[in-house]
Structure 1
Amino acid sequence: MAEITAASVKELRERTGAGMMDCKKALNETGGDMEAAIDWLRTKGLAAAAKKAGRTAAEGLVGVAVEGARGAVVEVNSETDFVAKNEQFQEFVRIVAGVALETGADVDALAKATWPTGGTVEEKLTSNIATIGENQSLRRAAVVEVKDGVVVPYVHNAAAPGLGKIGVLVALESTGNKARLEALGKQLAMHIAAANPLALKGEDLDVAMVERERAIASEKAAESGKPADIAAKMVDGAIAKFRKENALMSQIFVMDNKTKIEDVVAAAGKDAGATVTLAAYVRFQLGEGIEKKESDFAAEVAAAAGTSKPEPVA
């Protein structure tokens, strides 16, 4: 059996909110498998549902840019939060978002794209690494556009204009009043930043994710001791609830805590003077899906100096 370390118990606690002893038991029951331990805790009703992204760990910035009915969002990572506050780094992320408007979402193509003052994006990034003195990487990009309507950007707790740790784009198709559409897009983007939907509609949710939820719900239903037909209805109900809570169109609007997003969009069409369709959205949260390696700073300094780690003073 894999060794259950204090670090793994700590990580499981941070990801699930479950108690220490429950986390330790879950890891023992699953042979140290972190994802299986999360499912074990949820089966026992001891942990909240883990979002697809997991916990945020990396540093850097998310940048958004919009031109006309087309918008782009990029994520550029750095080793520390200090670099995210560096004006040179911020300017790089801002310009890269603008370049992505032209090149699209392919990161390789974006890296090879021409930098406004010459060279390529990749060469500029290499130069920044040399001058700033810290590793940086262009992680991902996304682009959305509409034929007729608006693409509205939003950055939550912006560190600078168009830059922050959560960036959202909302694409609204409509021939209606552009000012009304912009206002609606801003509210929807704020909702998306807060609620973190996993798909636009319930049927768009990742199949593997839904099946994982079904497996957990099935085990819970089996442990309830209910007859097979009742247990089957319990599972169906759990999956329906999961789809409703994680699909944007069926989520409850955070602004009033009572109206479905699909109803908010429908009502907005009357104000805008034409039918409104929420065509697409993108939400980037800095570092989602990346686990930052924890390090012993004193040991690193000692290693760099070619000495052993100093003993603590009594």
Structure 2
Amino acid sequence: MAEITASQVKELRERTGAGMMECKKALVENNGDVEAAAEWLRKQGLAKADKKASRVAAEGRVVTAQADGKAAIVEINSETDFVAKDENFIAFTDTVGQAAIEAADVEALKATKLASGETVEEARAVLIAKVGENVQVRRMARIDSANTLGAYVHGGRIGVLIEIKGGNADLARGLAMHVAAMNPPYISPAHVPADFVAKEKEIALAQVKDTGKPPEILEKMISGKVAKTVNELCLTGQPYVLDTNQSVEQALKAGGAEVVSFVRLAVGEGIEKQADDFHAEVMKQAGLA
């Protein structure tokens, strides 16, 4: 039997919203496997939809830029929030955002020449010398289209590009704000992978199979549960943040538009910063570790 740690219980609670004792029991039942425990909790009806806690630790800034049917979004990281607010860092990120409009990918962006005559990579080295921290041009995305493009950045930390067919610039920006706030993984139910839907059906069946209801009623209950989950994950099924009395799908219909694609970047997404153990560091320095 695997030992169940407090950190495993904490992770499972963050992911599922279930209580501490339920999480501990789920981990015991599944030999410490957090993934299996999360699914077990959902089958017991004790958990909300699995929401993996994104391990965001790195600092920095997300910038967007638009020009002549092109739009770009770039994430540039620093080590601390203090440097992320430094005027030199902000000026560098704004310049790099504009340069990204013509760059095919992040490696091409690093080699792009700026108005100063330096490449982005050379300007980055100069900035590092100024601010005394490591700075990385981490990732970018670009949309080049005759369709309507929208961009939005929230607090410098979350940025979105969106492409819609039809509609107008105001609708595109409003939808970009929605994606920034709600972070939908899919555009519409048609974009949800079949294996995800199959897994949701399996979980829904486990939740209702002991209700004693006839098969045809169970099928309707399962379909309803799956449809609700899928809608909540899809941009089109969510209540529109700028007018919660209508769904995004209704807002799109009213604006004569459809969403073609979107990109959402959040600062530090997927980067885990090392947690320093002060006691261990002191012991190491003293030669006692």
What is the TM-score of this pair, normalised by structure 1?
A: 0.79
Q: Deviations over 1:239-287 (max 9, x none)?
A: 222222222123221233221222212222xxxxxx4343322222223
Cα distance in 2 for partners of 1:251, 1:286 equals 24
Change (3 A) 1:148 1:9: closer
Q: Deviations over 1:173-231 (max 9, x none)?
A: 33x7xxxx222223222222222211112111244443443332232233545444443
The one-letter code matched in structure 1 to 2:244 is N
Q: Show the counterpart of 1:132.
A: 131
The one-letter code matched in structure 1 to 2:263 is V
Residues 112 and 121, structure 1, Cα contact 8 Å, conserved in 2: yes
Change (3 A) 1:301 1:167: farther
Aligned residues: 289
In the TM superposition, residue 102 of structure 1 has moved relative to its aligned partner by: 0.8
Residues 53 and 289, structure 1, Cα contact 8 Å, conserved in 2: no
2:269 equivalent to 1:288: yes
Computed over aligned residues only, the root mean square deviation of the Cα atoms, in angstroms, reads 2.8
Q: Show the counterpart of 1:171.
A: 163
Residues 71 and 101, structure 1, Cα contact 8 Å, conserved in 2: yes
Q: Show the counterpart of 2:208.
A: 221
Structure 1 residues without counterparts, runs of 5 or longer: 159-163, 269-274, 310-314
SS at match of 1:64: strand
- Given the alignment, which residue of 124, 137, 152 partners 1:154? 152
Cα distance in 1 for partners of 2:233, 2:126 equals 41
Change (3 A) 1:74 1:3: farther
The one-letter code matched in structure 2 to 1:21 is M
Q: Percent of pairs identical after alignment?
A: 46
Cα distance in 2 for partners of 1:139, 1:53 equals 21
Cα distance in 2 for partners of 1:79, 1:223 equals 52
Cα distance in 1 for partners of 2:22, 2:275 equals 23
The one-letter code matched in structure 1 to 2:141 is A
Q: Show the counterpart of 1:183.
A: 170
Cα distance in 2 for partners of 1:306, 1:132 equals 31
Change (3 A) 1:24 1:248: same
Cα distance in 1 for partners of 2:36, 2:125 equals 39
In the TM superposition, residue 50 of structure 1 has moved relative to its aligned partner by: 2.9
SS at match of 1:258: strand
The one-letter code matched in structure 2 to 1:89 is F
Cα distance in 1 for partners of 2:37, 2:133 equals 35
Q: List structure 1 runs of 4+ shifted beyond 6 angstroms.
A: none
Residues 144 and 280, structure 1, Cα contact 8 Å, conserved in 2: no
Q: Deviations over 1:43-78 (max 9, x none)?
A: 223332234674544322221111132211122233
The one-letter code matched in structure 2 to 1:187 is G
In the TM superposition, residue 30 of structure 1 has moved relative to its aligned partner by: 2.1
Cα distance in 1 for partners of 2:179, 2:10 equals 29
2:111 equivalent to 1:112: yes
The one-letter code matched in structure 2 to 1:142 is A
The one-letter code matched in structure 1 to 2:61 is L
Residues 15 and 52, structure 2, Cα contact 8 Å, conserved in 1: no
Q: Show the counterpart of 1:69.
A: 69
Change (3 A) 1:128 1:308: farther
Residues 146 and 172, structure 1, Cα contact 8 Å, conserved in 2: no
In the TM superposition, residue 288 of structure 1 has moved relative to its aligned partner by: 3.2
- Given the alignment, which residue of 242, 256, 260 partners 2:247? 260
- Given the alignment, which residue of 187, 207, 229 partners 1:242? 229
What is the TM-score of this pair, normalised by structure 2?
A: 0.84
Cα distance in 1 for partners of 2:192, 2:81 equals 33
Cα distance in 1 for partners of 2:198, 2:270 equals 20
- Judge which range, 223-232 or 69-78, deviates more: 223-232
